Amino acid sequence: MGIFRRILALGKRSELDRENEDELRDHVQMRTEANLAKGMSLEQAARAARLRFGNPTVLKERVGAEDAALNLESLFRDVRYALRGFSRSPGFTTVAILTLALGIGANTAVFQLLDAVRLRSLPIQKPEELAELRIVGGNRGIGITDSAYANFTIPMWQEIRLHHDPFSGVFAWRQADMAVGPPNEEKHVNGLEVSREFFNVLGVLPLQGRLIEPQDEGGCELSKVVASYPFWKTQMGGQPITPSTTILVEGHAVQVLGVTPPSFFGVVVGDRFDLAYPTCTPPNPRREAFNFSVMGRLKPGWDMDRASGYFNSLSPGVFESSAPTNYSPETIKTFKSFRLAAYPAGAGVSRLRDAYDSSLQLLLAITGLVLLIACANLANLMLARATARQREMAIRMALGASRRRMLRQLLIESSLLAISGASLGIALAQPLSRLLVASLGTSQYSIHLAISTDWRVLLFAAVVAALTCVIFGTVPAMRGANADPIASLKSGERGVIGSRERFSIQRLMVIMQIAVSMVLLVGALLFVRSYRNLMTLNLGMRENGITIAYFGFPALNIKPENQAEFKRQLMNDVRSIPGIQDAAATTNIPMSGTTWGHEVHVGAIEGGSRFTYADPHYFSTMGIPLLTGRAFTDADTNSSQFVLIVNQAFLRKYLSTTQPLGQLVHVMPEPHYPERTYQIIGTIPDTRYSEMREDSQPIAYVPAAQLPLDAQDPRVSAMIATSIGPDAIVALRHNIEAKYPNMSLQFFDFQQEIRDGLVGDRMMAMLSGFFGVLAALLVAVGLYGVLSYFITRRRNEIGIRIALGAKRGQVIALIMRDTAAMLLVGIVLGTGLALLAGRAATAMLFGLKAYDLATLAFAIVLLAFIAVLASWLPALKASNLDPVAALRSE
C-alpha cells in the first residue's frame, strides 16, 4: 500500500487498523495450519502459534509505529482520545479554557489598542516619509494655542511654506468645529481645515469626485468641502458626487467636491474628520494665535536629523519675520529664540497616545501578569491531572506504548487546550477592545479607532498561546514520561515518582501566584484609591448643580463697545429664569484644561499668574468664599479703577510679607491687552484652576466688565447654578431661543465635564480592579486545587491521625498551616515585587505614594481572606475523612 493511499485513508483509521490486524491474524492462522500439518492437535497448534507470535497488541503498536504516515493517522486518534478525556472531565476543561481565553483575550485586546494608538502607520502612501514640524519645547505659553496639535501661527506657516527644502511637499491643517444642516437643526461635526497641498502631499486619492487642489485655496468664504467616507455614507446617503452636490454648512450651501477613501480618517489617531475645507489667509492674520500644525514629506536623501538641522538654521528668519507685536521685549526675545525641528509623523499625531501611552503599557504588563497566573494555574491543573492519570499511563507503557508517544499524547492535549483557549481569547479580544475604546471615550468626545485583528495581533496571540502550551504542556508531560511503570502500578493512585518534588513545584506555583496577585491587587487598590482621591478632591468650588453654558452671538453684529453691556443684560436674563439660583459670565471655564496667563510685576517680583475675567456673580455662583476685602460689583467697569481678587497661592508668591489689600499689580502688555495697573481688593482661598492634578497656582480674578475693548468677543461662557437641575436649563434654552433666534447655545454639566477629564484614571481603576479581582479568583482556584490534591495524597496519614484520636480542629490546623506557609512566602515575595512595580505607576497616581502602607496591608488582608476561604473546604473535607475507608483504600 502506497504512502498516498495511507494519507488518503486518513480519518479512516479503523480500516487501516483492520488491515494490519487482518495481516497479523492471517499470519497466526497460517502458522496454526502449519503446526496442524506437523501433527499437533488443534489446541496445541493454536497455542504454539500464539506463543511464537508474542503479544499481539505490542506487535500491532510496533507495526503501526513504523509507519510514517501513520504518525499523522495516530494524531487524529490522539486528538480523539484527548477530546474524549476532556469530555469526561468538563470542569477541568472549562476552567482551563476559560482561564486561557481570559488571559489571552485581555492581552490581545490591550495589545490591539496599543497597536492602534501608537504602532500603526497612517493609511497613506509611504507614511515613513511624513514629518511634523514643531517648535522645540513648545511655544512657552506665548499667545493663544488652538489645540494640542496646533504649533504655528499663520505668518509662521507662510514663512515655512516658502522655505521647505527638505520636503518635497508641505501642508498645514487644523481641526475646527462645523455646524451642518438647516438652522435650528444644526449638527456639530468635525471639520478639518487644510492647506491646498494636504491631500496631494499625503497621497490620498479620491473615492468620488476630486479632493482639495491648489486652485481651491482662496477667499475666506467657505465654498467647497470634501466629505469623509463615513460622513458621505451616513449623512449624505452615499449618493454619487456631482458638480451640483451641496450641503448646508453654517447656513450656507457649500459645494461638495468629493469623498475620501474609507480608510482615511485624517492625521489624528483616535479622531475622525467629517468635512475638510481649504484654508485661507486673511489679510491681517493674528500673529499670536497658534492654530496650525505643519507636516511635510521628506525628499529622497533627507532624513529627520538632516531636516531638523535645516529647519534649525532656518528658524531665526522664520521667527524674526513672524514675531507678534505688543508683547513685552522679554517675550518677543523668547519668541525669536524659538527653534524648529522635524519629527516622524508616519503614525499620525494623537492626543490618545500622549495621554494613555504609559497607561496602556502598564495595562499590558498587568494583563501579562494575569496570563502568567493563568498559566501557573493551568500547569497546576495539568500536574494534578497527570498524577491522577499515572496509573493509566503506566498501563499504556506496560502494554508497549513508547515514552515518546505518551509525551506526544500529553502535548496534544495541552495544545488542544491552548488552541481552544487562544481562539476563544482572540474572539473575546474584539469586544474587549471595543469596551476599552468605549471606556476611553467621554460624553463629549467619542474615539474612532480602527481596531482590527491584523497579522501582528494574531502573531502575538499565537506566540502567547504557544508559550503557554509549552510551559504547561511539557512540564507535566516530561514528568509523566519519566514514570517507572512498575513502580507506578505498585503504588496505585498515589503515584510515586518525584511526588515530593512535584508537590513542591505545585507549591512553588501557588506561591508565585500569590506573589503576582499581590502585585496586581496592590496596583488595583492604588489606582482605585487614586481615582477616588480625584473624585472626592475638594476643588475649592461648587461642582454639582452647575451647568456650563456657551452663548455665541456673532450673527447679532454687536459693536465691541456695546458688548460688555449686552453680556450684562444677557446674564440678567439668564438669572431671571425660575430655578436658576445664580449665573456668572467668565472667560475661563474652570477644570476645562484651558488656561489664560499674563505676565505680572508685583513690587520687585516679576512672574506670571493665571487670569480669569469674571462677572460679580462668579464667586457666589461657584460657592467660593471671600476671605478678605470686597467682591466685584457692577460699578467695576472699564472706566473705573482696575481691580483684582487673588487667591492664596498668589499671595504666597508675590505678597508673602505684606498685607495684600490695596497692593498694586502691573500686568504686562500683549496683543489686545495693553499694560495696566490693578489694585487688589479681595482675597479668596486656593481653588483648582484648569486641572485636578495641578497644585494651586497663583490666580488673579478681574471683573469681566474690565476686559479691554479689543479683547471683546461676540460670545459668552458662563457658569450657571441651578436648584432644580435640567428643567431650568430647558426653560433657559426656550427663553433665549425666543429672544435671540440667531444665538448659538451649548450646555454641559460641569460635574460631568470634570469626570470626563478623569476618563484615563477611571479606565485604570476599572481595569486594574477587574484584573486584580480576576487574579485573586485564580489564586483561590489554584490554592483550592493544590490543597485538594495535597489531601488526596495524604489520605492515609490523615486517616491514621484521625484513627489515633486527632481532633477535627487539629486536622484543619494541619491543612491551614500549609496554607499559611505558602501565603507567608507569597506575600513577602509579593510585597517586594509590588514595591518595585509601584515605581512605574507613581506618575499616574494622585495623592498617593506607590509604597502606601494602608494599601499593602489591605492587599495582604484580602489575600489572606481568599486563602483561608480557598483552603477551608479542603480542610473541612480532610477533617471529615472516615479513617477506616481511607486506610482500606490503601
Nearer to another protein, 25 or 187 (CB): 25
**874 within 8 A of 815, measured Cβ to Cβ:** yes
Nearer to another protein, 53 or 81 (CB): 53
* Residue from 29, 337, 443, 638 in contact with another protein (CB under 8 A): 29
Nearer to another protein, 62 or 739 (CB): 62
Backbone angles phi, psi at 41, to 5 degrees: -75, 165
* Residue from 1, 8, 395, 487 in contact with another protein (CB under 8 A): 1
Q: One symbol per residue from 68 to 107: x for binding another protein (CB under 8 A), - otherwise; what is it?
A: xx--------------------------------------
Q: Going along 306-362, which residue ranges are E strands?
A: 340-344
Q: Kindly report the CA angle at 400 between 399 and 404, in degrees rounded to 5?
A: 130
Nearer to another protein, 16 or 644 (CB): 16
Nearer to another protein, 71 or 125 (CB): 71
- Work out how close the CB of 34 gets to another protein at its nearest, in angstroms, rounded to a whole number: 7
Stretch of 31-39, 92-100, 760-768, 857-865 lying at the interface with another protein (CB under 8 A): 31-39
- Work out how close the CB of 13 gets to another protein at its nearest, in angstroms, rounded to a whole number: 16
Nearer to another protein, 52 or 807 (CB): 52
**177 within 8 A of 190, measured Cβ to Cβ:** yes
Q: By C-alpha distance, which of 79, 77, 34 is closest to 53?
A: 34
- Work out how close the CB of 56 gets to another protein at its nearest, in angstroms, rounded to a whole number: 10
The rounded distance, in Å, linking the Cα atoms of 85 and 650 is 74
- Contacts (Cβ under 8 Å, ≥6 apart) of 331: 142, 599, 668, 670
- Work out how close the CB of 50 gets to another protein at its nearest, in angstroms, rounded to a whole number: 11
| CA-based torsion, 326, 330, 334, 337: positive or negative | positive
- Work out how close the CB of 19 gets to another protein at its nearest, in angstroms, rounded to a whole number: 8
**208 within 8 A of 256, measured Cβ to Cβ:** no
Q: Give the N- to C-terminal CA distance of the chain in Å, as an integer.
A: 51
- Work out how close the CB of 41 gets to another protein at its nearest, in angstroms, rounded to a whole number: 20
Nearer to another protein, 27 or 187 (CB): 27
- Work out how close the CB of 71 gets to another protein at its nearest, in angstroms, rounded to a whole number: 10
- Work out how close the CB of 42 gets to another protein at its nearest, in angstroms, rounded to a whole number: 17
Nearer to another protein, 8 or 68 (CB): 68
* Residue from 3, 398, 854, 884 in contact with another protein (CB under 8 A): 3
Nearer to another protein, 29 or 641 (CB): 29
Q: How far is CA 408 from CA 62, 235, 495, 717, in A?
A: 16, 58, 21, 72
Nearer to another protein, 30 or 119 (CB): 30
Q: How far is CA 567 from CA 29, 177, 352, 705, 708, in A?
A: 112, 24, 37, 9, 14
**715 within 8 A of 740, measured Cβ to Cβ:** no
Nearer to another protein, 32 or 367 (CB): 32
* Residue from 12, 18, 27, 490 in contact with another protein (CB under 8 A): 27
- Work out how close the CB of 36 gets to another protein at its nearest, in angstroms, rounded to a whole number: 12
**878 within 8 A of 811, measured Cβ to Cβ:** yes
Stretch of 25-33, 163-171, 290-298, 655-663 lying at the interface with another protein (CB under 8 A): 25-33
Nearer to another protein, 67 or 713 (CB): 67
**Eight-state DSSP code of residue 116:** I
Kindly identify the residues of this chain, within the stretch 455-514, that bind another protein according to CB under 8 A.
none
Residue with grid cell 455614507, as numbered in its chain: 233
Q: Residue 398 interacts with another protein (CB under 8 A)?
A: no
Nearer to another protein, 32 or 648 (CB): 32
- Roughly what angle, to the nearest 10 degrees, separates helices 499-535 and 351-388? 150
Q: Residue 42 interacts with another protein (CB under 8 A)?
A: no
- Contacts (Cβ under 8 Å, ≥6 apart) of 602: 654, 655, 663, 664, 665, 666
The rounded distance, in Å, linking the Cα atoms of 328 and 179 is 38
Q: One symbol per residue from 5 to 24: x for binding another protein (CB under 8 A), - otherwise; what is it?
A: --------------x--xxx
Q: How far is CA 137 from CA 141, 175, 256, 326, 663, in A?
A: 10, 22, 39, 23, 35
| CA-based torsion, 458, 459, 462, 464: positive or negative | negative
Kindly identify the residues of this chain, within the stretch 50-69, that bind another protein according to CB under 8 A.
52-54, 58-59, 62-63, 65-69
The rounded distance, in Å, linking the Cα atoms of 767 and 523 is 10
- Work out how close the CB of 60 gets to another protein at its nearest, in angstroms, rounded to a whole number: 9
Q: How many residues bind another protein (CB under 8 A)?
A: 26
* Residue from 8, 33, 445, 710 in contact with another protein (CB under 8 A): 33
Q: Residue 34 interacts with another protein (CB under 8 A)?
A: yes
**421 within 8 A of 101, measured Cβ to Cβ:** yes
CA torsion angle for 94, 95, 100, 105 (degrees, to 10)?
A: 80
- Work out how close the CB of 31 gets to another protein at its nearest, in angstroms, rounded to a whole number: 6
Interface residues with another protein (CB under 8 A) are 1-3, 19, 22-24, 26-27, 29-31, 33-34, 52-54, 58-59, 62-63, 65-69
